Structure 1
Amino acid sequence: MRAAQFRRFGGPEVLEIVDLPEPHAGAGEVRIAVRAAGVNASDWKKRSGRMDQELPQTLGYEAAGVVDEIGGGVTDVQLGDEVVGMGGGGAAQAQFAVLSTWAAIPPSMSFVDAATLPSTVETAARALDQLGVTRGSTVLINGASGSIGSAAVQFAVHRGARVIGTGSAASHGYLRDLGAEPVAYGEGMTGRVRALAPNGVDLALDVAGSGVLPELIDLAGGSEHVVTIADFAGAHEHGVRFSRGDSGRADYAIALALRLIDEGTFRVPPVHTFPLQEVAEAHRAGESGDVRAKIVLTQD
């Protein structure tokens, strides 16, 4: 099968499409013929040698496609079902991928839109779970307009929380549409938040990693009320919890997001697609920040 791989660390130019043996579904897994696969920041971190020093490496852990092989003990899908999920054994950016977690794609949704969701919604829901966001909470989300931030906003609103979200002035209409009260980030952010919530907030989630953990701690009344997914060094320095998937995943979020989308109460993030064979261009676009959308690789 065709798959994205690199055999040495470096820039996007080290990426190539290679032929690999097809994977097969084990117990509790399904294999899909991939139609769309998500690209994430971890992909270019691995490619550049900042993560996982093993070589060669294949890429991708989230994909959407058609079930063509079912492992032992799996009873909730049939061959030909359209699903989206995670797993891939680190090789979801390929013709075939093995998923360990999946959910059925609603008829109203495309493979491309579905492929934007798994890692984004799992990360957002996990961070909200770790914060303890529930009905009646007031939560501040720093970096609310990005793909993970917007998912966190929508999940928090769905839980019945009041959400204040930071973003650029251009994003404020979008944040209001999602159900958040927008504030501009940058100097003076604390005062702008306190204008909306004079006594501060109950909880704060840092999605942007923009060096504002001290301000979030002040607004939330202590480091124990703050979680970051983007500032590892700052979390260590300020005693803030850094959200990791290995401390408990929120795999339920995939099916929940799909249901809410089908009901019209959850929005898919903006998406930019590249064919699988242009994976190097996809990395260049994502790593440069020029594409402010979820990047998805497609294939027939």
Structure 2
Amino acid sequence: MRVVFAGTPEFAVPCLRAAQRAADVVAVYTQPDRPAGRGRQIAASPVKVEALAHGMTVMQPENFKSPYARDGLREFQPDLMIVVAYGLILPQSVLDIPKYGCWNVHASLLPRWRGAAPIQRAIEAGDTQSGVCLMQMEKGLDTGPVLLSLTTPISAVDTGGMLHDRLAALGAEVVEDGLKLLRAGIRVQPQAQPVEGVTYAHKLDKAEARLDWTLPAERLAAKVRAFTPWPICEADIAGEKLRVHAAIALPLAHHVAPGSVLAANKSGLDIACGEGALRLLSVQREGGRAIAVADYLNARSQLRSS
């Protein structure tokens, strides 16, 4: 089984390892090296780092618009192409090259949360369940029929990072299971996605991370969890701009303006919301690191209350 793997971020690395265990990965496609981190130094993608560490052939075309790029893929004579968070929309001319087409691992239970940020949008929306789908790719955005899927509950404490890691591991499972079945000559019957229940997980924007205190505390707590570890929520609190790393919603009745400090003590920093209050547990000052609110209040003792 000759497999070409296409992926870029950390999420795709477990799937690459699974593909390597179950098939012959003849080439790995990933995004070109780009500036990353605070220093904006040119850096290889996590998938490229993993591939090179295991001596795999790495290809980094900007796209597949040119016949040269498509011919390069064709020369690998792939039976299958596995795509996981690659970062490019593949044209039909590419989808048609592998013998068995292209598979995609998507981090949601399709058709809910098609698109770029399914993990964060699921938590932000208050979903209680997520999962991964192994999908037969077609031209549309995450519209292809589903071959295999696995589910996982979303707990009240799950952050975007925690759910990301769990779904990455499940993605590796469906890749390995799918490859083993294909190698055994078993063709899984693709199941068309339902026409009802389609939602889109639009790409995260840092501007969304600002907390709007007029919203209910439950919604803000979900956003804080969803946007951890990136892009991290932020807000103006008692005259200071803070990033919020952890918070919980409290069903407190109050009659003060949203954004007002209701309480500040070792238990947390309680901020009035449109409904209820948001208790901040971990915050970050500009130029600092994430710290517990109890430590933050040592520096701002004037905020302390009983």
Sort the TM-score into its range (normalised by shorter chain). Answer: 0.3 to 0.5
More helix by share: 1
- Greater RCO, 1 or 2 (C-alpha within 8 Å, sep 6+): 1
Rg comparison, structure with higher value: 2
TM-score, L = length of structure 2: 0.32
TM-score, L = length of structure 1: 0.32
